[in-house]
Chains A and B, each alone.
Chain A
Amino acid sequence: GQNIDQPTEMTATEGAIVQINCTYQTSGFNGLFWYQQHAGEAPTFLSYNVLDGLEEKGRFSSFLSRSKGYSYLLLKELQMKDSASYLCAGGPRFDRGSTLGRLYFGRGTQLTVWP
């Protein structure tokens, strides 16, 4: 299947660095997405990794290793507003010459940032 595994909860303090890991059990994804979702709000796009390696975007960085089925999201200089659920998602997939655009989401990692 397309099991996407990520920790359920994490906590950290303001100003710290936190790494949220994500593993998946299929090689069919074209890439790996990370979304941030505040309670009661829509998921917002953070990053999309297609190639192996680290991509940095301000305080957030995302890493992908396709051969290991592994990704992580690194958040630096944590702020209280970073308290949210972080969703890892695989996709799109290419099957039999067609593109299946759906994303396969993990259940999300609830990050709480303490002062």
Chain B
Amino acid sequence: GAGVSQSPRYKVAKRGQDVALRCDPISGHVSLFWYQQALGQGPEFLTYFQNEAQLDKSGLPSDRFFAERPEGSVSTLKIQRTQQEDSAVYLCASSRNVRGAGTEQYFGPGTRLTVT
């Protein structure tokens, strides 16, 4: 079946612009995660949804970052007034369950954001 998809794959934004990154998880997956990955680093957690509920947003670096998943499927990560330090790859992942079997997370290809 189809995997996790993300769009756009690449985004160049001028400092101060707002951006919106989209994630289509695997159909039927309850959990959806956003991670930020800087060059040469492992992914860092941003936020987590279980269906439409945002249960953990402790990783969002500032109030310029906002995520939503209104119908429990597609999710959007919005970054307002982008700064150069926001340049990174933004990864979306989904998993079937949150505990027990099926907790492995499947990642999308990511959106590479470059802020100039």
Contacts and interface: CB of A to CB of B under 8 A. Distances in A.
Contact of A101 (B31, B40, B108): B31
Interface stretch (A37-45, A54-62, A64-72): A37-45
Interface of B: 4, 31, 33, 35, 40-45, 48, 50, 55-56, 59, 91, 95, 98-99, 103-110
Nearest to B3: A42
Given A42-B107, A99-B98, A108-B40, 9 more contacts: A4-B42, A35-B107, A42-B91, A43-B91, A44-B107, A45-B104, A100-B55, A103-B33, A103-B45
Contacts of A45: 104-106
Most buried by B among A41, A43, A89, A105: A43
Contacts of A43: 43, 91, 107
Interface string A7-36: 000000000000000000000001101010
B106 A48 contact: no
B43 A105 contact: yes
21 contacts: A35-B107, A41-B109, A42-B108, A42-B109, A43-B43, A43-B107, A45-B106, A48-B104, A89-B42, A92-B98, A92-B99, A99-B99, A101-B33, A101-B48, A101-B103, A102-B48, A103-B33, A103-B43, A103-B45, A104-B45, A107-B40
Contacts of B106: 45
Interface of A: 4, 30-31, 33, 35, 41-45, 48, 87, 89, 92, 94, 98-108
Given A41-B109, A87-B42, A101 B98 contact: yes
B15 to A, nearest CB: 24
Contacts of A30: 99, 103
A51 to B, nearest CB: 13
Contacts of B35: 105
A86 B4 CA distance: 20
B89 to A, nearest CB: 9
Contacts of A42: 4, 91, 107-110
Most buried by B among A35, A45, A94, A103: A103
Contacts of A31: 103
